[in-house]
Structure 1
Amino acid sequence: MPINFALDFFKAHPTLQDISFEFDTITPELIATLDKSHLPALKPFGLIGGDDIKDDASVQQLIHACARLESLEISTEHFMDYREEPNVDLYQERKTIMENMPTTRLRYLYIDLHCASQEAVTLFPLLRKSPLLQDLHINFCLGNDMSNSIATILRDEGYCPELKTLSIIQDEITDSKLAELVNACTGHGSSLTTTTPDKVHRILKSLSIASKNYGPLTINSIIQNCVQNLVALDIRECEYVHLSNFIALVSNLPGLQTLFVGNIYFVSRVQGVTNSLVNALETPWVCRGLESLRFNLCWINAKDDSNVEDDSNPEDDGNADDDSDTEDDGNTDCGSTGRSDTNDMADLANFRSRCLGCFWDRVGELKNLRYLSYGGDDIPLITSTENEVSYLDRLRGS
């Protein structure tokens, strides 16, 4: 869309309430037009591009526009002027501009940036200046440093007390830092030495995590901090969710209505899934009000057992074989146990059937279930059991 056309369009529609556009060049004139009071009804604003938002006047005008908006989306390669060697003076100057911005009315903030850390830090005042913020969606490529800064703002400084929805897309962040960020967003663990002691108790209702480093620490953080209030959990973009972690979620989050999981993985050796996990599968889930469920079921090769089991189960003491029905030491040589390959395969088939029967029994108990997505792309699906088929048939007939 030509800039001149956009300017004329905005001027001709003073009651415009929603703007979302994409330009390679965002000019100061365009931002100034948006900042004028003849668009008093403007609430959502989406900006894709913006590589030319570099001069101080443009930044100031954009911030003033943000002050009256309720929804802001920024998706751009470089919000600030990008340099291989960060300009410290420019960073400080623009940080000052951001810190002097007025309090916003933002309730929804989506930030998708790919830039240097010093440039991104100038956006932190948006969090400090948005007391009404309820939905925060973060997509940075900055990893742990960015996570630490955001956690400090939310936890130690007590900003964004109304936060209810958090979406994180950060592959470079570690499991421990991701867990700290979840802790911070719930308002728990605020330092008593700060000017805002432990008075901020956020009610986080929706959480979405896309990170390859997600793991048991994050699971524990979700369970400990969101047990009473979490309604929607989306971890489908995480690579794998061990069966033990999945059971921990459905056994401790009674208010869940939406649960989207990627791959719930079992291991393909009998000793890889302990009796305690099988018994847990036989126990009804506490989230009986679940309405939407999306998941894949898959098996991991025997050679991967020792790697995935110890790292994925936060309650596992490392002696998974102690309560197993088999004396197999985890070696792939079935003959070492004195049993035939045929017997081992039969035991494994029976064991899988038991696990899957229990799993589908639990799904079948979800009387409020309205949406079910089950399947996989590259990972072969497990052999259907009678329980699974009968439940799917019931769903198709309803």
Structure 2
Amino acid sequence: MDTFRCAVREWLATNLTGEFAALRGLGGPGREHEAFEERLAWDRHLAAAGWTCLGWPVEHGGRGLSLAEQVVFHEEYARAEAPARVSHVGEELLGPTLIAFGSPEQRQRFLPGIATVSELWCQGYSEPEAGSDLAAVRTTARRDGDEWVVNGQKVWTSLAHLAQWCFAVVRTEPGSRRQAGLSYLLIPMDQPGVRVRPIRQLTGTAEFNEVFFTDARTSAELVVGQPGDGWRVAMGTLTVERGAATLGQQVGFRRELTALVELARECGALEDPAIRERVTRAWIGLEVMRAQAVRTMSGPRNGFEASVAKLCWSRWHRGLGELAMAVRGAAGLTAPDDLDRWQRLYLFSRADTIYGGSDEIQRNIIAERILGLPKEVRP
């Protein structure tokens, strides 16, 4: 494994130079607007060198690397401050879903474009009246000959304004409720029936979007799995959503915490016992998070670890943003020209406990499916 780690580290050191050198540290949640075209070129450079789709089976265009090797790559990628990937949704979410549930024709059509980063994807799950409650979606699709006709609205759709395709959970059986009657469709974004409207965030950026489907169409062959089986397929996507990349994410968190401690030392905030205690708790929380991730990835899974992981990192990161404002003090309250990194961290991390499955939903999953507590009463 040390040999592989050295190979990854050397490749990144050699290639994050020249036209790509300025991309270090750019992009990521709340900063997806940064150098997007240049980061897209970087992703395609990675693909050409065989550094995308690491865990995919070789027969589907991947590297077939072990989970341990994938973790090493993500850790070294984060340590090198390589730019945030623009193809995450396709590579980490849809690709594994198609490999597990898609037809041979769907794999043949879409996996190569994901691997080469020639087609970008967005995820159509959340809706205005459903939020993180995926079983409450109202967007519908009806069969019309060789096509599905889609009507409804999705919200908080990351990078929908840049994606060529959307995978969406829609209701295909009229009168069905909750998990029954849902289907998992692949929908082209470039058509008259799809309208994308950016949502301006507290940070002033707009990487989330509303997506409106008005008689949008997609081929009848582009339902993943069987019609009505969308819940099972969607849960499969969520299972892979927080995989090996989690440990790379934690390297980034550690870098943020280290920089914040240095700031606290420089400005004298670290002399405050209350600040020191919060810094200590943040460090302990990060160590616990890593231990939990390693334990989960190295042992048997029950399918609900993703909820525990999401609950842990989202609350920790939101707390880091709050700690940053405490360290900055009054200086953190003003932004005469533009937000600094700590203000942006604080503002965007308010969304951490909402996107990707809200804390409330994660707690319900843990309570009901792991602890066996009574289910929440729903209308």
Q: TM-score, normalised by structure 1?
A: 0.26
Larger Rg: 1
More helix per residue: 1 or 2? 2
